[in-house]
Amino acid sequence: MKKRVLLVEPSFYGVEFVRSAKELGCEVICLVEAATDPEKYGYQDLFDDLIITDVRSVTAILTSIQESPYSHFAALIPCTDYVTAVTAAVAQSLGVFGTPLVAAQAARNKDLARQIYQEKGVSSAAFQKVTTLNNAKAAANRIGYPLVLKPTNTASSIAVFYIRTAAELARRFQIITRLKTSYLGFQVRHEYLLEEFLQGPEFSVELFLQQGQIAFAEVTEKKTTQPPFFVETMHVVPTTILKEQRSKIIQTAFAAVSALGFQAGPTHVEVKVTATGPRIVEVNGRPGGDSITSDLVYDAYGINIFTETIKLYLGLALTLKPSKRQAAATGFIFATKTGIFEKIENLALLENNALIKRYVIETKVGTKVKIPENSDDRLGYFIVNADTSIAAKRLASNLQAKLKVVVRSIR
């Protein structure tokens, strides 16, 4: 008999859960906001049935499951960052396996996480939660410029601002308070985080825990745009830089997820290595997006984190030992000015290269584009494989330099 898996709102990276569950021979039931979601996110041929519900509401999800033909199931798994805490609450109510609610809530609410890091001695950033501009000004004077202003419960670098002066703080604070809802209509809290700006190269740590211990870990090197925005332009697995600090970076990430209460499954931890060592930017209670987990980790090590996560939820034996040791990178394509997107020159470089796993152009001709302010502003991406991370990074960098985005100025 097939094991029944309930997947809550698969989208973006979460589509890999649908694909992996089907490959494991599971019956796949997706809880979604709208019947059009499978086609929208590209898994229309991979599920067995849908439950339409309000994925923002614990009560709605509980009721929808209990009133459906699928009230008996083997696993309940969140498949997008925004539903991790809601799904954890549902799992707790039903008494089934899931992320501890306190850990999921802390990962979704950056101020709670920062408070826990402070209490438990995890290396992080000076911070203060603020609700008014006066609060923010006082906090800025205490922490010192430059600063980062961000919402407490969004993702994808949405409304994350680099602040250098009091005048900039006033202007950006006015903008951030206009943000009322985020992805799927989740409410943006009217409490904001003002943080010390951490100087240093940025990484993410892809962790998989079993019984509170590290079962798999790798460090992803990141390239980002320059302030005032922090949009990731490249990921490389494994890192080519600061290899001598790899162990310290991983241990800092592990200290953070442990402090929040994570015990099992995947987490994606963002870290900066400063002059005083690795410090936590944030913890995400999910696999890494941006093709990091779905492609780069798999291509470099042969480990499918999504399959292993489903097996964890089903109580099956896991396979987290690398079957190979290679490297991979994702390069993002973006506009260098505001205007109307016309074309990308030299795309043939992506079509005629055996080292290119795939490429995706996500922007249509005639669309207004701009210099990226968050990850939604990227125009597309490509994934390269190579024997070494240095070779993967070099190839991705060369391709980014040669792909010319043609943008027509707006008059």
Domain boundary assignment for the chain: 4-98, 126-196, 199-325, 328-411
- Could you tell me the pLDDT band of residue 155, with boundaries at 50, 70 and 90? confident
Q: Cα separation of 189 and 302, whole Å? A: 39
Q: Is the pLDDT of residue 1 over 80?
A: no
pTM: 0.95
Q: Is-same-fold flag (126-196; 199-325)?
A: no
Q: Copy the structure tokens of residue 40.
A: 């929208």
Q: Cα separation of 10 and 394, whole Å? A: 33
Q: Which of 285, 4, 341 is CA-nearest to residue 153? A: 285
Mark out the alpha helices in 34-192 (DSSP H runs): 37-41, 58-66, 84-94, 101-108, 110-120, 133-143, 166-176
In Å, how far from its chain's centre is CA 17? 15
What mean pLDDT is predicted for residues 321-325?
97
Kindly list the distances between the CA atom of residue 404 and the CA atoms of 169, 225, 287, 342, 361, in Å, as whole numbers in the listed order.
35, 17, 31, 11, 13
199-325 is classed in which CATH architecture?
2-Layer Sandwich (3.30)
Fold of 126-196: Dna Ligase; domain 1 (3.30.1490)
pLDDT digits (tens, 9 = 90+) for 350-391: 998 899 999 999 999 999 999 998 888 999 999 999 999 999
User: By the 8 A CB rule, do 9 and 64 touch?
Assistant: no
Fold of 328-411: D-amino Acid Aminotransferase; Chain A, domain 1 (3.30.470)
4-98 is classed in which CATH architecture?
3-Layer(aba) Sandwich (3.40)
